[in-house]
Amino acid sequence: MSDSRIPKALHAYVGERAAQDDAFLTELKQAAVEAGLPEISIGSYQGATMSMLLKLMGARDVVEVGTLGGYSAIWMARALPADGHVRTIEIDDAHADFAEAWIAKSDVAGRVTVLRGAGDAVLPTIGDRSADAMFLDADKEGYSSYVAQATRILRPGGLLMVDNAFAFRQLLDESVQEPSVLAVRAVNDEIAKHPAFEGVLLPVGDGMWATRLR
Ligand SMILES: C[S@@+](CC[C@H](N)C(=O)[O-])C[C@H]1O[C@@H](n2cnc3c(N)ncnc32)[C@H](O)[C@@H]1O
């Protein structure tokens, strides 16, 4: 096998050995496509990674920005104890409607609440030190202010996960100067140097920060 094919083969090898979507999540993803939602949810390998991190830290309360169809919220809710909870923020009513309908018929129906509105409007309403973990997966231009909110909302030792740190695979292509890509480059540098966080950028999915609030 040539060198260029090895990373792809390794990726497939790793993916085949991670937890897979169950029938419900497979059905949810198919229904989301049929409902016209964009196909931009995390993958099952990333869901399994996030689930493991949440279980390892014994997370109970999670805040997400960017619900889409509820796929990642359900992955995270399944990693929590029975009295755990995910609050997930979504700006688009059609996405929120779809997510609420599928969460309601999921095995974690009582464990996820969709909060409608923009991240920068809803996050300030969330209490200080009220979350064990946060997952940012929405508008990239908002990430810097969401990271600032995370220093208040997370409890000490809390986990901040930030998706799309590879900027849709355009991170290192300097010819790409789109606002969302510029925002990801800026927030990657910000998180790397942030005195309140210690963590690593994992090569999972489109790159995901896993950082701990000191
Ligand atoms: C990448 S998708 C989220 C995928 C979801 N986390 C998953 O993996 O299943 C991004 C979502 O963020 C929402 N969004 C975009 N801008 C937002 C904002 N300012 N506040 C809250 N949600 C926003 C979009 O409508 C979209 O549903």
Residue ranges of domains in the chain = 21-213
In the chain, what percentage of residues exceed pLDDT 70? 98
pLDDT value at residue 155? 98
* 71 within ligand 1 shell (Cβ under 6 A): yes
Q: What is the pLDDT of residue 3?
A: 58
User: Are 200 and 207 contacting, i.e. CB atoms less than 8 angstroms apart?
Assistant: no
Tokens of 38: 């964009």
The residue whose C-alpha atom lies closest to atom 16 belonging to ligand 1 is 139
Do the beta carbons of residue 69 and residue 98 sit within 8 Å?
yes
For the chain, percent of residues with pLDDT exceeding 90: 92
Q: Which two tokens stand for residue 212?
A: 């701990």
Above 90 in pLDDT, residue 62? yes
Query: Which tops the pLDDT comparison, 21 or 4?
Result: 21
Residue 1's pLDDT band (cuts 50, 70, 90): very low
Q: Does residue 122's CB lie within 6 angstroms of at least one atom of ligand 1? A: no
Q: How far is the CA of 139 from the centre of ligand 1 (A)?
A: 7
Angstrom distance (rounded) from CA 108 to CA 85: 9
pLDDT digits (tens, 9 = 90+) for 96-149: 999 999 999 999 999 999 999 999 999 999 999 999 999 999 999 999 999 999
164 lines ligand 1 (CB under 6 A): no
In 3-state terms the chain splits into helix, strand, coil percentages (rounded to 5) of 45, 20, 35
- Encode pLDDT of 78-94 as tens digits: 999 999 999 999 999 99
Buried b (16+ CB within 10 A) or exposed e, 46-62: bbbbbbebbeeeebebb
pLDDT confidence bin for 4, thresholds 50/70/90: low
With CA atoms as reference, report the closest residue to 75 among 44, 37, 119.
44
Is 0.95 topped by the overall pTM? yes
Please name the CATH architecture into which domain 21-213 falls.
Answer: 3-Layer(aba) Sandwich (3.40)
Mean pLDDT of 1-18: 78
Cα(84)–Cα(174) distance, integer angstroms: 42
Residue type, 188: N
